Amino acid sequence: MPKKLVPRWSDATRAIHSGEPRHGLNVPVTTPIIRTSNFNFADTAELKRFAEGKSKAYLYTRYGNPTLSVAEAKIADLENAEAALVTASGTAAIASALLAALQSGDEVIATRQIYGGSFNFFRDTLPRLGIRTHFVETSLEGVDRLVNAKTRVLYVESPANPTLQLVDLKKAAALARKHKLVSMVDSTFGSPVLQKPLDLGFDLVLHSATKYLAGHSDIVAGVAAGSRARISKVREMMIRLGGSMDPDAGYLLIRGLKTLELRVHRQCATALELARFLERHPKIARVHYPGLKSHPDRRLARRQMAGGFGGMLAFDLKGGLPAARRFCDRAKIFLLAASLGGVESLIVLPIYTSHHRMGTTELAAAGISPGMVRVSVGLEDAVDLIADVQQALS
Ligand code: PLP
């Protein structure tokens, strides 16, 4: 395709066109799924060149695959990254990124307000490898004091699952740079439509692509994006751990990316409307949504997120867990299901799902109350969603 026709594409155009061979006789309009585990070589000379790192040929789908390369080109473009990697899940991307940067004896500083699975990885898995994690608040207070000669990584998530607290990404990246730490951010809730952490100085941006990037609740997937050198190390670890994406999932991720911007903007608008409705409801104690004036990180959200505050929100009911369970059991349009970022609106109780392996003290420290309901806003009409909330609360 005439690559340089438009010098700098917008995100919507990049998501549709990046990485795709477009122009030419009978070039397919959609991305072919190269459903193969391995690739044929013409001769042993070419194989030798591959082994010496001199060939760009594909060898084996765990290492790379043309369908996955298209997905990676799109992700790299959307995150303003030199390179990107797709993986079998967000967890595979996170684990590969961390293990590529750490070895026994190292230490990590991480915010405690993160996805429960990531928290468990820091709390339970890394210590078995001799790697210790110090948890801090989203304010990053105390990081300077905790850094020592063993500290290697600063890991944050913003907005945080499920409390929607924000980390000042510019500040986090600068702190990491000051202490020569590798900075990593799980940007799943934000998506590259709303925030681009690499532009703010982060070394690596990670996503559960299961969520907004793929967007249709039909695959489990992950991505990492950053410099060519850093992604190459993460890829090497991913190859060793075996967390590669399947080409069929790669196709669905590519398809999802093409409508990412449309979906996220609509979800942001509906989420804001819903959050405002909930805040006025007499049975609601507190709504957590960065777009509300009452949110403690609102000013930061306005500075850091562009075009909206995301499609995720959470709320606490005055009646605590029993009231939250009643609400979830009565909702009709909202599905009671884990995960997020799809076209269907979902509700869930984090204490029973994303954060169920955390203890009472850990949950309280992360700001997760037993009766907190997490909402993933889909593409249904806001009027219908508000009516459903109203009837479920009545
Ligand atoms: N990061 C966040 C913010 C998540 O919500 C999740 C999953 O819920 C993950 C990472 C893990 O991603 P996956 O389930 O794709 O492994």
Q: What is the chain's pLDDT, residue by residue, as a tens digit (394 residues)?
A: 444 454 578 999 999 999 998 889 999 999 999 999 999 999 999 999 999 999 999 999 999 999 999 999 999 999 999 999 999 999 999 999 999 999 999 999 999 999 999 999 999 999 999 999 999 999 999 999 999 999 999 999 999 999 999 999 999 999 999 999 999 999 999 999 999 999 999 999 999 999 999 999 999 999 999 999 999 999 999 999 999 999 999 999 999 999 999 999 999 999 999 999 999 999 999 999 999 999 999 999 999 999 999 999 999 999 999 999 999 999 999 999 999 999 999 999 999 999 999 999 999 999 999 999 999 999 999 999 999 999 999 9
Query: Is the omega angle on the peptide bond into residue 197 within 30 degrees of 0, that is, cis?
Result: no
**Rounded to whole angstroms, what are the CA distances from 187 to 69, 160, 161, 210, 211?**
21, 9, 10, 13, 11
How many CA atoms lie less than 13 Å away from 137 in the CB half-sphere? 6
Write out the CATH class of domain 11-257.
alpha beta
Residues framing ligand 1 (Cβ under 6 A) = 89-91, 115, 117-118, 157, 161, 186, 188-189, 208, 210, 220, 222, 339, 354
Mutate to test the pocket of ligand 1, among 89, 186, 208 (most ligand atoms within 8 A of CB): 208
* Cα-only R_g, the chain: 21
User: Topology of 260-393 in CATH?
Assistant: Aspartate Aminotransferase, domain 1 (3.90.1150)
Amino acid in the structure at residue 324: A
Pick the closest to residue 200 from 100, 102, 81, 71 (CA basis).
81
H or E element in which residue 313 lies: strand 312-317
Counting Cβ atoms within 10 Å, is residue 105 exposed (0-12), middle (13-18) or buried (19+)?
exposed
In sequence order, which residues have a C-beta less than 8 Å from that of residue 43 and are 6 or more positions away?
none
How is the chain split into domains, by residue range? Answer: 11-257, 260-393
Distance (Å, whole) CA 63 – CA 81: 20
H or E element in which residue 271 lies: helix 260-280
Beta bridge partners of 244: 87
Going by CA atoms, what residue is nearest to atom 8 of ligand 1?
339
Pick the closest to residue 324 from 293, 369, 361, 354 (CA basis).
369
Q: Using DSSP, state whether 335 is helix, strand or coil.
A: strand
Number of the ligand 1 atom closest to the C-alpha atom of 114: 3
Q: Helix count (H) and strand count (E) of the chain? A: 15, 12
Strand duo 312-317 + 284-288: pairing = antiparallel
Token digits of residue 22:
């477009």
